[in-house]
Amino acid sequence: MEITATAVKELREKTGAGMMDCKKALAETAGDFEKAVVWLREKGVAQVAKRSGRSANQGVIGSYIHGGKVGVLVEVNCETDFVAKTDDFQNLAKELAMQVAASSPKYVGREEVPAAELDKERAIYMNEAKQSGKPEAVQAKIAEGKIESYYKQVCLMDQPYIREPKKNVKQYVTEVAAKLGENVVVRRFSRLQLGEE
């Protein structure tokens, strides 16, 4: 099947992928546009995983102030200054700042949650599960399920993304990283709320 320049251009506009990648995606999927989009996303996510070890020391500090009552700063890093200046990257930083303002996480990722805090939460959930009267194996699964829910509350990367709740913030960041073609790291954030101590 012949891949037309118009189809390649249309796929590029929809996905932001390079021309050659779009052409290859259409060739691999026999010209099926929707399958080509999926193929590009899968390829992009795989490339992001490969790049995750590369140094990301450029980037921006994104900010968001909501009604003069809540202010957020978030540091998002990438590999090059060129990518840091792109609209997609700048928008990512702003979206993440808005996410922090709306969802009030305590940590960037689950690896930052102190072991003592996690042990305390796990003990509370195990105690609740014991009161259910269910077998011990089931109690442990109930407690672990609640720990997963806890991560979704306190860890930015685990939270449902405010604009598309079916995906989490980590998936959103990975999609943007795939589009940009660089390793993207959410380094830290700070959230201030008026009157909070």
| Residue 98 sits in the same domain as residue 188 | yes
Residues of the chain with pLDDT > 70: what percent? 90
| Residue 83 sits in the same domain as residue 172 | yes
| Residue 141 sits in the same domain as residue 173 | no
How far is C-alpha 16 from the geometric centre of its chain's CA atoms? 18
| Residue 62 sits in the same domain as residue 29 | no
| Residue 76 sits in the same domain as residue 173 | yes
Please give the pLDDT value at position 55: 63
| Residue 138 sits in the same domain as residue 45 | no
| Residue 69 sits in the same domain as residue 92 | yes
Q: How many CB atoms lie within 10 A of CB 41?
A: 17
In tens, the pLDDT along 123-152 reads 999 888 888 788 888 888 888 899 999 999
Helix (H, G, I), strand (E, B) or coil at 183: coil
| Residue 81 sits in the same domain as residue 138 | no
What is the rounded average pLDDT of the residues 67-81?
Answer: 94
pLDDT reading at 186 higher than 50: yes
The pLDDT-based confidence of 57 (bands split at 50, 70, 90) is confident
| Residue 47 sits in the same domain as residue 62 | no
The whole domain housing 20 covers 5-51
Helix (H, G, I), strand (E, B) or coil at 197: coil
Query: What is the arrangement of strands in the sheet containing 70-78, beginning at the earlier edge strand?
Result: 58-66, 70-78, 185-193
Residue written as token pair 């790049």: 51
How many domains does the chain fold into? 3
| Residue 103 sits in the same domain as residue 167 | yes
Domain CATH for 30: 1.10.8.10
Residue in 126, 121, 170 with CA at minimum distance from that of residue 150: 121
Cα(95)–Cα(161) distance, integer angstroms: 9
Which residue did the predictor score with more confidence, 3 or 59? 59
| Residue 103 sits in the same domain as residue 10 | no
| Residue 65 sits in the same domain as residue 159 | yes
Domain CATH for 103: 3.30.479.20
